[in-house]
Amino acid sequence: MAAQNDPKQNHLLAALPQNEFERLAPHLELVSLALGEVLYESGGRLNHVYFPTDSIVSLLYVMEDGSSAEIAVVGNEGILGISLFMGGETTPSRAVVQSEGFGYRLPAQLLKREFNRGGPMMLLLLRYTQALITQMSQTAVCNRHHSIDQQLSRWLLMSLDRLHSDELTMTQELIANMLGVRREGVTEAAGKLRDAGIIEYSRGHIKVLDRPKLEQHVCECYAVVKKEIDRLLSDTPPGKAFSSLM
């Protein structure tokens, strides 16, 4: 598909004014991101930033005893490697490809230079970071208060939003890692959704049959995050809406 190879499938790149985009374009390198690939290891240095197009990448915190939890998910609405321009150089989280596909990457130095111009790119990246913070916070609350059923629903919807399909390739085992729960817990929750006619699945393939019903089933966390992402980013046509820091 030609569309798959268009950097502007990534919302951040698409939101840049044309001249800004063209300055970056020659340096954007198309990369294929395979399922399970680790883009950043916890504490590791960042050599590139990634702009996913049709792939999804999870930010995971892995603990000493090996248990883990997803703290945010990044798709074509965002960028991976924010700690680069935030000044940390390293991330404390691990970035794992959750749904394979493509993305564009940019050398770290180049992004820093662009960020330091202080123009639209900087404002856009900061806004996205703000949206990411919201997602992380809501994840914290969701972990505390909501059932696996609800969290699974949220996770499915967030994944769907970042794909161009109603299907995803993902085993229950992997979902359990993301949610930080047991695989059996996911089996049970998924069974309920299937019995309700909301999804069907088998051996690593999940298909959403009734999205409206799924949206009824989910906790408020999904809508909060989506709304905030939309507020901060979607209504950001090229070269506009950058007046907030004036």
Partner DNA sequence: GTAGGTATGTCCGCTACCGCACACTGTCAA
Partner DNA sequence: TTGACAGTGTGCGGTAGCGGACATACCTAC
CA distances to 69, 102, 191, 217, 238 from 56, rounded to whole Å, are 16, 9, 24, 23, 24
* Residue 155 interacts with, from DNA, a copy of itself, none (CB under 5-8 Å by kind): none
In sequence order, the β-bridge partners of residue 69 are 61
Using the rule CB under 8 A, which residue among 1, 87, 195, 212 binds a copy of itself? Answer: 87
Rounded to a whole number of angstroms, the minimum distance from the CB of residue 30 to a copy of itself is: 27
Q: Is 112 a residue that touches a copy of itself (CB under 8 A)?
A: yes
- Residue 119 main-chain phi, psi, to 5 deg: -90, -155
CB 40 within 8 A of CB 110: no
Q: Is 162 a residue that touches a copy of itself (CB under 8 A)?
A: no
Rounded to a whole number of angstroms, the minimum distance from the CB of residue 137 to a copy of itself is: 4
Burial class (CB in 10 A: 0-12, 13-18, 19+), 63: exposed
Q: Are strands 68-74 and 48-52 parallel, antiparallel or unpaired?
A: unpaired
Rounded to a whole number of angstroms, the minimum distance from the CB of residue 17 to a copy of itself is: 16
Nearest to 222 by CA among 178, 149, 177, 158: 158
Q: Is 83 a residue that touches a copy of itself (CB under 8 A)?
A: yes
Q: How would you list the strands of the sheet with 38-40, edge to edge?
A: 38-40, 94-99, 56-62, 68-74
Using the rule CB under 8 A, which residue among 14, 31, 110, 126 binds a copy of itself? Answer: 126
For 23-62, b where at least 16 C-beta lie within 10 A, e where not — what string?
ebeeebeebebeeeeebbeeeeebebbbbbbbbbbbbbbb
Using the rule CB under 8 A, which residue among 40, 85, 102, 155 binds a copy of itself? Answer: 85
Binding stretches for DNA (CB under 7 A): 147-149, 171-173, 180-185, 187-188, 190-191, 194, 201-204
| Binding piece for a copy of itself, criterion CB under 8 A, among 50-58, 95-103, 128-136, 202-210 | 128-136
Q: Is 21 a residue that touches a copy of itself (CB under 8 A)?
A: no
List of residues contacting a copy of itself (CB under 8 A): 59, 61, 63-64, 67-69, 71-72, 83, 85-89, 92-93, 112, 115-116, 118, 123, 126-127, 129-130, 132-134, 136-141, 143-145, 180, 220, 224, 228, 231-232, 244-245
